[in-house]
Amino acid sequence: MANEFTHFNAKGEAHMVDVGDKAVTQREAVTEGRIYMSPKTLEMIMQGTHKKGDVLGIARVAGIMGAKKTPDLIPLCHPINLTAVELDLIPEPDKNAVYCRAAVRCGGQTGVEMEALAAVQIALLTIYDMCKAVDRGMVMQDIGLLEKSGGKSGTWTRAEQG
């Protein structure tokens, strides 16, 4: 059952999965991603000299808002009463990148993986938007789920890749 797609009904039509019979459990998802940029752009972000202001502060708020708006963006996602969204944005001068990590929690009947992935992607998109005037070549990569816990399937952790 775990490998079957559940977003289709018996007729093969897309539908919202009924999670009403699932137990309410504490759930968490942790995701990550990076945006690579020129050394000059990263320096502007780190020094706070970008004309648009506090790039990382605004991206952090955007990521949190993105997690909260996930069911408005992904058609079959359930609205979830999130209890916490933590978002870290860490400049990585050795990679000319900003690393983003999001941890999203709820007490609910379905997981928060999509909310955590949305948080990272909206935060990185906000960095791109704020810096595109000086660096259109920025690239977002390495976006993915690190771990999740809660629910019937329990804890899952991504194996090291490389």
Pair 73, 65: CB distance under 8 Å: no
Q: Give the DSSP letter of residue 8.
A: B
Contacts of 131 (CB under 8 A, 6+ apart): 37, 41, 44, 45, 50, 52, 55, 138
Question: In which order are the strands placed within the sheet that holds 97-108?
Answer: 82-92, 97-108, 25-36, 139-149, 156-157
- For residue 2, give the DSSP letter: T
Does the annotation count 72 as an active-site position? no
87 neighbors 115 (Cβ within 8 angstroms): no
Distances (CA, A) of 78 to 29, 74, 82, 158: 15, 9, 11, 24
- Residue of 21, 54, 94, 129 with catalytic role: 129
Main-chain phi, psi angles of 79, to 5 degrees? -65, 130
**Residues labelled catalytic:** 129
